[in-house]
Amino acid sequence: MDRIVVSDLVCRCVIGVEEWERREPQEVIVSLALAVDLTPAGRSDRIEDSVDYRALKKRVLAEAEASSFSLIEALAEHVAAICLEDERVQEVQVRVEKPGALRFARTVAVEIDRRRAR
């Protein structure tokens, strides 16, 4: 299966389990890998035959920035569900990073893989 990859999308949202984490939006970084058959778009050169990743980016940003999850795992699940709403997306890998979440570590991340229900 072909892939569309969106790397390092920076979002600001309320996320965390500690009270101090929930006072102000924090930066999270979202990366996506969408499993899609790109043959039709490659042959036609038409956006209608592919996943509009600009529209998807806007939706993911809007949903993430309006969210208030405790866990990055929950945010990742929500983002995966958004991606799978497009019938062309057969599978999605979502990575959500929370920079500075741990002292002495640049980032903490979760990665999930979700498939379209058959």
How confident is residue 118, by pLDDT bands cut at 50, 70 and 90?
Answer: confident
Whether the model clears a pTM of 0.75, i.e. scores above it, the answer is yes
CATH number for the domain spanning 56: value is 3.30.1130.10
Task: For residue 42, tell me if it sits in a domain.
Answer: yes
Task: For residue 92, tell me if it sits in a domain.
Answer: yes
- Check residue 64 and give its pLDDT: 95
Task: For residue 103, tell me if it sits in a domain.
Answer: no
Task: For residue 115, tell me if it sits in a domain.
Answer: no
Domain holding 27, by residue range, is 2-97
Task: Name the residue among 19, 22, 11 with its Cα closest to residue 69.
Answer: 22
Task: For residue 116, tell me if it sits in a domain.
Answer: no
pLDDT tens digit sequence for 2-34: 999 999 999 999 999 999 989 999 999 999 999
- What DSSP assignment string belongs to 43-105? HH--GGGS--HHHHHHHHHHHHHH---S-HHHHHHHHHHHHHTSTT--EEEEEEEEETSSTT-
Q: Domain count for the chain, please give it.
A: 1
For the chain, what is the mean pLDDT? 96
